[in-house]
Structure 1
Amino acid sequence: MPIDAAKALAAEPRIGEITWDSKDVQLYHLGIGAGANPDKSSPATDPDELRYTLESRLHVLPSFATVAGAGKPGVTGGLSMPGIDVDLARVLHGGQSLTIHRPLPVQGTATATGRIAAVYDKGKAAVLVMRTDVADADGPLWTNDAQIFVRGEGGWGGDRGPSTRLEPPSGSPDRVVERPVREDQALLYRLSGDWNPLHADPEFAKVAGFERPILHGLCTYGMTLKAVVDTQLGGDVTRVRAYATRFAGVVYPGETLRIRMWQQGDGGIRVTVSAVERDDAPVLADTVVQHS
């Protein structure tokens, strides 16, 4: 069996140093659409976007944690852990959760500790939970959990794992915004460290079962968090405490995201994301942003 759950869980964590600077942060922000002016009648850059794009005003959107240090050890690194030997064309990013321990600095050097935290048997697929804890000299910075589906690798009788499905939000959303995805956005986003050819190579995309290259799920993840911060949190990136989602469908470059938001009474914002051009096809589900 290509996945040996016991061996993967018992493997020593991978520990390495990661570094990033303002240029990495700016590139990430551009990759998730920062800098665009929603007022199409004006050629000037939206002043509110300068907090994402101008080094003298730069704030770090917390989802940058998914690519800091080029995303190491990241999904690709996790798939090379002992006990795991899978075909990249069968791999799908199923979900992502992020806990922020304190605001991310514009530049830094930190230690990233990556390990397989869980392996679940979903019958037709295996799910790997890849956990990365990052800390610098001042203490913990963030914890990332990536849930990775490996199609065709389930069925060995292992633990199915917990259900992450939430009841759909009730009532009308408090806010609905639309965000366009540029045709070249996947090509730009991949420069932050996710080089999976699924997002660039048409032939590889066809082998993986898609009509053409798809947008990175983590790009949609970042675009969504930016929309929430900009419209519900007054543009204050430091208010984000945690952010979790389930990837419910794909996005193709050139489409438009429809982002619906419901403010909850417990310091959380429920979010759903769909693709406008495909009759509101679900893209992100079970999405919650916890904030102060």
Structure 2
Amino acid sequence: MPIDAARALAAAPRVREITWDHKDVRLYHLGIGAGVPATDPRELRYTLESRLRVLPSFATVAGGGPPGVIRALSTPGVDVDLAQVLHGGQDLRVHRSVPVRGGATATSRVVAVHDKGTAAVLVLRTEVADADGPLWTDEAEVFVRGEGGWGGERGPRRLSPTVPSEGAPDVVVERSLREDQALLYRLCGDSNPLHADPGFAARAGFDRPVLHGLCTYGSVLKTVVDTLLDGDVTRVRAYRTRFAGVVYPGETLRVRLWRARGDGVVRVRAGVVERDDAPVLADALVRYD
């Protein structure tokens, strides 16, 4: 079979040096939809270098280069068709605030291969540290259609009993996305043709190019920070989600937020307004100080 789980898990870690500066941070923020209205002081925290703060989800693109999904596919023992690959989920833990500019060492390896029956899921963990110690750890879950069924472990189901999952949300926010949102976000380093080439998107089973899951991921985290944390990006400690569906550029996200019974956790769900709230993010949690 194209995925040799034992070989992928045994592969040596891949180490790379990464750097970033305020230009990379501002481009990322614009790529997820920041800067509207352009003169709003709350938006200038994301776009003006003299006031700049780094949304923690920037960690998923820091240093440029291919995203975790693509890096997972270059692991020994993994040989699959890119058109059958989707981003299944993302888990980010922030150990310290992400600086506006920096350099660090990123160490990545496949730490799990799950058998979902009709698909396989690879989990690529990347640990990033600079001279002062750990900065962040992220895990990308790579969903490969048609590669399951070999009898492996299904993997954990991520749910949290501490946050309400039913009932009316505490907050509902709508965020409009640009028609060229995916083209702009691609400049952060993810050049997968699924997000730009109509022909490739059709081969993957979509009507047209879809938005990057990590673009939705970042846009939703910004919504949480701006709505519940008064724009203070340094309070975010962790953020995880499962990608439950696709977003097309130009659509509107409806983001629902449920606060925990106590401080420090919020559950998030996001859907698409124009498609009867078709789900795009599920089982999402943001932990904060």
Structure 2-normalised TM-score? 0.97
Residue 60 of structure 1: aligned partner: 54
Q: Aligned with 1:206: secondary structure?
A: helix
CA deviations over 1:207-261 (Å, ceiling 9, x no partner): 0000000000000000000000001001000000000000011000110000011
The amino acid across from 1:271 in the alignment is V
Q: Deviations over 1:45-79 (max 9, x none)?
A: 21110010000110000000000011556221221
* 3-state DSSP of counterpart to 2:78: coil
Confirm or deny that 1:77 pairs with 2:103: no
How far the C-alpha of 1:171 sits from its partner, in A, is: 2.6
**Which of 82, 91, 110 is 2:85 aligned to?**
91
Helix, strand or coil at the partner of 1:170: coil
* Contact kept in structure 1, 2:67 and 2:190, CA below 8 Å: no
- Opposite residue 223 of structure 2, the aligned amino acid is A
Give the secondary-structure state (helix, strand or coil) at the position aligned to 1:141. strand
In the alignment, residue 224 of structure 1 is paired with which amino acid?
Answer: V
**CA distance in 2: counterparts of 1:72 and 1:213, whole angstroms:** 18
* Within-5 A mapping of 1:195-234: 195-234=191-230
Do the aligned partners of 1:73 and 1:114 also contact (CA within 8 Å) in 2? no
Partner of 1:269: 266
Distance, in Å, in 2 between the alignment partners of 1:57 and 1:162 is 41
Q: Deviations over 1:133-159 (max 9, x none)?
A: 000000000000011110001111111
Alignment partner of 1:133 out of 123, 127, 131: 127
Q: Say whether residues 1:256 and 2:258 are aligned partners.
A: no
**Partner residue in 2 for 1:48:** 42
Structure 1 position 113 matched with structure 2 position 107: yes
Q: Alignment length, in residue pairs? A: 286
| Counterpart Cα distance in 1 of 2:158 and 2:171 | 24
The residue number in structure 1 matching 2:288 is 291
Shift of 1:103: 0.1
1:46 alignment partner AA:
D
Supply the distance in 2 between the matched residues of 1:113 and 1:216 (Cα, whole angstroms).
23
**In the TM superposition, what whole-angstrom CA distance separates every residue of 1:6-54 from its partner, at most 9, and x where no partner exists?**
00000000001001010000000000011012xxxxxx62111001000
Give the structure 1 partner of residue 22 of structure 2: 22
Distance (Å, rounded) in 2 between the aligned partners of 1:73 and 1:5: 21
Residue 166 of structure 1, CA deviation: 5.3
Which amino acid is the alignment partner of residue 189 of structure 1? Answer: Y
1:40 aligned residue: none
Q: Give the unaligned 5+ runs of structure 1.
A: 38-43
Structure 1 residue aligned with 2:173: 177
Unaligned runs of 5+ in 2: none
CA RMSD of aligned residues (A): 1.2
Paired-residue identity, % = 73
1:183-202 Cα deviation digits (max 9, x unpaired): 00000001001110000000
Conserved? CA contact 1:73–1:132, under 8 Å: no
Deviates most, 172-181 or 211-220: 172-181
The CA distance in 2 between the partners of 1:252 and 1:275, in whole Å, is 9
CA distance in 1, matches of 2:97, 2:234: 6
Q: Which residue identity lines up with residue 25 of structure 2 in the other structure?
A: V
TM-score (norm 1): 0.96
Preserved CA contact (<8 Å) 1:272 1:285: yes
Tell me if the contact between 1:199 and 1:214 (Cα under 8 Å) persists in the aligned partners: yes
3-state secondary structure, aligned to 1:250: coil
Letter in 1 for 2:202: K
**In 2, distance between residues paired with 1:72 and 1:194?**
6
